[in-house]
Amino acid sequence: MPNFIPDIRGRIRTVRYGLWLMERGDWAGNVICSITQWCGKSWNELSRPYMNTEANKILVGRTMELLHDYGAIHGGIIYPADLRHLILDVDAPGLSRADLLNGKAPCYVVDFGDARATCLQSQGPCSTPRFALVSKASGMCRTCGCARLAQIHEYLT
């Protein structure tokens, strides 16, 4: 995790419990496993069936917005298929089917290998959603001018 991303574990980033290393000799060499919190299923997997609701699209967009507000750009979402980096916890305790359809599942961002700092200073969580304020004409977020948020918006609509 790049050091410019503040501690957002458990909010929009999964909790990583540690690395496991096992030497398997000639059979498999060294095996390294990262142990992380269970997060659910990727947006790509969920966006095709019944989960593809307006509320869930807003949830995914807002999650990316929060990452942006914390001062980071994911960097690995270039094409619509890259929305696989957004994970919805469809198995969260106490979540009903109606909650799942209404954008109430926890949503996480994974794979920060290409992450970098945004052009803006970290503002902390934004209380006013900007996701709906993306202008299709300019391709930019009308509030902050970020083309990345506009790109996510385009992929979700």
Domains in the chain, CATH or no CATH each: 16-156 (1.10.510)
What residue ranges of the chain have pLDDT lower than 50?
1, 4, 121-130, 132-140, 142
Provide the token pair at 31: 């095996």
The reported pLDDT for the residue numbered 52 is: 86
How open is the CA angle 35-59-151, to the nearest 5 degrees?
95
The reported pLDDT for the residue numbered 122 is: 44
Q: Which residues contact 43 (CB under 8 A, 6 or more apart)?
A: 60, 83, 84, 86, 87, 88
The reported pLDDT for the residue numbered 18 is: 86
Q: How far apart are the C-alpha atoms of 29 and 73, rounded to whole Å?
A: 35
φ, ψ dihedrals at 122, nearest 5°: -60, 130
- For the chain, the distance separating the N- and C-terminal CA atoms, rounded to the nearest angstrom, is 30
